[in-house]
Structure 1
Amino acid sequence: MASNRLPPPTSELLGTVESLCPICLKRVSGQYRQVGEQVLLEKACPQHGSFAAVVWRGEPDFRSWLRPKIPWRGGSRRPVERGCPLDCGLCENHGQRTCTVLVEITSRCNLGCPVCFADSGSTAVDPGIDELQRLFVRVMEQTGGCNLQLSGGEPTVRDDLAEVVRRAVRAGFEFVQLNTNGLRFVEDPELAHRLKDAGLSSVFLQFDGVTEHPYTLLRGRPLYELKCRAVDALASAGLGIVLVPTISRKANLDQLFALVGFGVARLPQVRGVHFQPLSLFGRYPAVLQGDHVTLPELMRGLVEQSGGRLAVADFHPPGCEHALCSFSARYLVHEDHGLQRLGSGSCDCRPLPAAQGAATAIAVTARQWTGVTDPDVAASAPRDDLDRFLGRARSHTFSISAMAFQDAWTLSLERLRGCCIHVAQPDGRLVPFCSYNLTAADGTSLHRTR
């Protein structure tokens, strides 16, 4: 009798990888294996057994997304002693220069989300203003110039935040961005104007959806109306706004293009949406364990939810960080909210210097995410069609991007060595973001001190 059982999916070894055990955080060997449409990172620890996590689901093809780079070997580096990722700071094996530095100016927070990569909420004393000034200067000296993000905790709990921004600008940073949940701007709308006057360029605004469900699950309370008011307050000050949703399969995977639509409707103040799939480090509820949304799922979800206004071919791998870490696309938004892709979705597959990609990313990010004035609104003189087109091209570009951070289940040391987003430490070390925030299954941290 014929069997109705489906044949097992095909399995193919794609390559070997160095990773970490998610229990003890010791280095282990692993492999990328394609099983059906899924690519798994499989690894085994002699003490704690075998583990597997999905790192890629479906099209575009995993192998087609890889982009070789010529590693960067410049700058002042720490010698390799214990090996990656224990020597982060940066060590001699790191292959990418700094594109963005995060400085955590407080560990306090006014929200207390169930999901938090920083596990914020500490009552530790904030670093002093002069200490931050010295750190900003040292980062500039080490990196030769990069973008700066002020983070936490929740940075707006500091009453001297405008002075912190001024000190960063004084140290030479041309693009200063604030990573915030936005609640303080609802309580004090004039804060946005004070920060703009101090030199703030952009706001990386936690914004998880266009209904209350994502906030209730990810943040522990309904926040959507407050988030909209925060957007209004920031827009009134002329600050560039980037909406940053944490994406969870259970919370908001069905709201990808709705978030794009929310942002597009608020151009030129909202400059883009930057999706961040939930990574299992820091603080997260048990109900979300194993909830790895992959980059191709985001790309295809955006296309399907857009009703054909977007295409998978619009998106391209990064020129700065490792190819498996992100995607991006930029669009010109027409008056009817039609989206016209800018540039080509295809990439040059020749090996390019990693530092060249970082330099390009620094400039493009600053240009796209900085606040702009709508020339059609601001201009007092009559404008012809060409003036209006050129003005719109400057003010009405919109970016769609995503960054898949690595956790203890998905970490590849090759990817980590290509990281360009670094967290500045009080002693001057620059630690790759995913290494700094990495936590074991029981919450033990590799680098971060609570």
Structure 2
Amino acid sequence: MMLRRTQSLCPLCLRRLDAFYAHSADGRTVELCKSCPEHGQFRVAVWQEPEANIPSAPAFADWTRPKSPSYPQHPATELEDGCPFDCGLCPVHGQHTCTGLIEVTLRCNMACPLCYASAGTASSPSDPALADIGQRLDALKRASGACNVQISGGEPTVRDDLPGIVDMVRQRGFGLVQLNTNGLRLAEEADYAATLADAGLESVYLQWDAVGDAAFRMLRGRDCLAFKRRALANCARAGLGVVLVATVVRGVNDHELGALLRLALELGPAVRGLHLQPAAFFGRYPWPLAEAPRLTLAEIMNALARQAPELVRPEHLRPPACEHELCSFNAAYRRVDGTGKPGLAWLHQGGSCCDAARPLQRLVPPLPTAAEGSRAARRFVALHWRGQRGPAPADGAGDAFDRFLAQEGVARHFTLSGMAFQDALSLDLDRVRGCCIHVVRPAGRLIPFCLHNLTAAGGTRLYPL
């Protein structure tokens, strides 16, 4: 029985296909199913149904958050070949930008076996010039206003002019200036974090996959824990907010999620959240696409509730108000320390980006718009992930959400979130049209993150560099 219809791509030739969701034979798994006239049938797991008497994510049919689309006021591209081939954004894209990614290099000082950007190869293109980066930022500001900006790569810190790039972002008045980094240079140069903070950096999106080096060696090709700790300490001294970001792979580090959450709390208030990403398989990865060890978003939520039951319950984790519900989950907590060990108290009302625009019980009727969800989500992230130095964002200052955060003390908050990216096997074009994380390409085109990185099983890119 079909649960839901959509469209997808053939993972071999990238032809657009009709697709649908259906239960597996045993009824425990929801799969995305599609058939290419040239390459045959494909099925991939996207959700696990609840198990009796075990803490579990909601049923597939219940994990939903409907919203009215919010189309671009000034589309950058025409609708010619249809989604996903006309991105820019095109007139049928249904969500504004929450976070604009500026890729400032494809060079890297590591060589991770798993890399969404295939960074650090000899064939990496040259770094974009500062003038080009400025033009991309201007295009993003025109299209998306005061959204949040993540400076990404490759590894951005290999550019010696990174403080100047941070200043360029800050001068344009974006909501949050965040750096996506492996932390190696932040660890090796004790004052580098302070230099970036002085330039206007507010948040560090720090790659941190595990509590032990065994998983780091599998995913990153080397021991990492010691230098990650040094990088975090230097960011804390500089007053930067840090979010630990883990790429999660079945059989590698999925058994460590509860321990990773406890470690994030033990590392202190500089760590503003833990963000979990079940691995998508585009860019560089060491498995054949059809055999890759996948994890669904529901399995990530189940692992948290079962490995850290004193901190997380399934009902804490909410679908997003911004992007498509199958793309992410989130929760917000207040830190407590009544037993000698750091703990969490769930913030039920007003505490997550899902509830920021309007409380859950007010969602129906009427449906919230995607624009409301986008605004609430980017403001929530900007307020919770920035460090001590950052000023409150100007977008929507003085509203009820601001007053709630001021009363609760944002510095004591901790966010827990997850994001399931899509690859050529799992791509759902309904999810693509609801994407709010956009990479700013040369000439200012905005491409949803998954499409920007998407590669066919043989390595062909949907959107070539």
Q: TM-score, normalised by structure 2?
A: 0.88
Where structure 2 has 5 or more consecutive residues not aligned to the other structure, the ranges are 51-57, 353-358, 390-404
Kindly indicate whether the alpha-carbon contact (under 8 Å) linking 2:383 and 2:410 is maintained by their aligned counterparts in 1: no
Find the structure with the greater CA-based Rg: 1
SS of the equivalent of 1:286 reads: coil
CA positional deviation for 1:124 = 2.3
Where structure 1 has 5 or more consecutive residues not aligned to the other structure, the ranges are 1-11, 374-388
| Match of residue 327, structure 1, among 326, 329, 345 | 329
Alpha-carbon deviations, 1:226-254, whole Å to 9, x = none?
Answer: 11111111111110000000000121101
CA positional deviation for 1:134 = 2.2
Query: Residues 47, 169 of structure 1: CA spacing in aligned structure 2 closer, same or farther, 3 A cutoff?
Result: same
CA positional deviation for 1:364 = 0.2
Kindly indicate whether the alpha-carbon contact (under 8 Å) linking 2:175 and 2:379 is maintained by their aligned counterparts in 1: no
Distance 1:37 1:239 in 2: 43
CA positional deviation for 1:287 = 7.2
Kindly indicate whether the alpha-carbon contact (under 8 Å) linking 1:58 and 1:297 is maintained by their aligned counterparts in 2: no
Alpha-carbon deviations, 1:421-445, whole Å to 9, x = none?
Answer: 0000111100011111110001110
2:32 is the alignment partner of 1:41? yes
SS of the equivalent of 1:131 reads: helix
Distance 1:361 1:243 in 2: 18
Superposed, which structure 2 residues align to 1:135-146 within 5 Å?
A: 135-146=136-147
**Aligned residue number for residue 355 of structure 1:** 371
Query: Residues 332, 23 of structure 1: CA spacing in aligned structure 2 closer, same or farther, 3 A cutoff?
Result: same
Query: Which shifted more, 73-82 or 23-32?
Result: 73-82
**Aligned residue number for residue 448 of structure 2:** 432
Alpha-carbon deviations, 1:333-383, whole Å to 9, x = none?
Answer: 11232311012589445321001000001100000101138xxxxxxxxxx
2:332 is the alignment partner of 1:341? no
| Match of residue 417, structure 1, among 430, 433, 436 | 433
SS of the equivalent of 1:67 reads: coil
2:72 is the alignment partner of 1:93? no
**Aligned residue number for residue 63 of structure 1:** 61
2:393 is the alignment partner of 1:393? no
Query: Residues 143, 307 of structure 1: CA spacing in aligned structure 2 closer, same or farther, 3 A cutoff?
Result: closer
Kindly indicate whether the alpha-carbon contact (under 8 Å) linking 2:46 and 2:426 is maintained by their aligned counterparts in 1: yes
CA positional deviation for 1:90 = 0.5
CA positional deviation for 1:267 = 2.8
Letter in 2 for 1:297: E
Kindly indicate whether the alpha-carbon contact (under 8 Å) linking 1:75 and 1:143 is maintained by their aligned counterparts in 2: no
What is the percentage of aligned positions where both structures have the same residue? 45
Alpha-carbon deviations, 1:39-86, whole Å to 9, x = none?
Answer: 000100000000000000123101111221111123211220011100
SS of the equivalent of 1:108 reads: coil
Distance 1:304 1:136 in 2: 42
Query: Which shifted more, 394-403 or 346-355?
Result: 346-355
Alpha-carbon deviations, 1:387-415, whole Å to 9, x = none?
Answer: xx988833211000000001111111001
Alpha-carbon deviations, 1:215-234, whole Å to 9, x = none?
Answer: 11111111111111111111
Distance 1:391 1:98 in 2: 28
Alpha-carbon deviations, 1:116-156, whole Å to 9, x = none?
Answer: 00010144221112221222122111112200000000000
Letter in 1 for 2:20: Q
Distance 1:281 1:26 in 2: 17
Query: Residues 287, 255 of structure 1: CA spacing in aligned structure 2 closer, same or farther, 3 A cutoff?
Result: farther
- How many residues were matched structurally? 423
| Match of residue 404, structure 1, among 420, 427, 433 | 420
Query: Residues 239, 355 of structure 1: CA spacing in aligned structure 2 closer, same or farther, 3 A cutoff?
Result: same
Distance 1:263 1:401 in 2: 13
Query: Residues 48, 287 of structure 1: CA spacing in aligned structure 2 closer, same or farther, 3 A cutoff?
Result: closer
Distance 2:295 2:207 in 1: 18
**Aligned residue number for residue 27 of structure 1:** 16
Query: Which shifted more, 177-186 or 75-84?
Result: 75-84
Distance 1:235 1:448 in 2: 38
Distance 2:4 2:126 in 1: 46
2:254 is the alignment partner of 1:253? yes
Superposed, which structure 2 residues align to 1:9-28 within 5 Å?
A: 12-28=1-17
SS of the equivalent of 1:141 reads: helix
SS of the equivalent of 2:132 reads: helix
Letter in 2 for 1:256: L
**Aligned residue number for residue 155 of structure 1:** 156
Q: TM-score, normalised by structure 1?
A: 0.91
Kindly indicate whether the alpha-carbon contact (under 8 Å) linking 1:267 and 1:396 is maintained by their aligned counterparts in 2: no
**Aligned residue number for residue 219 of structure 1:** 220
**Aligned residue number for residue 120 of structure 1:** 119
Displacement over 2 Å in runs of 4+: 287-290, 343-351, 389-394
Alpha-carbon deviations, 1:160-181, whole Å to 9, x = none?
Answer: 1101100111122231100000
SS of the equivalent of 2:455 reads: coil
Letter in 1 for 2:9: L
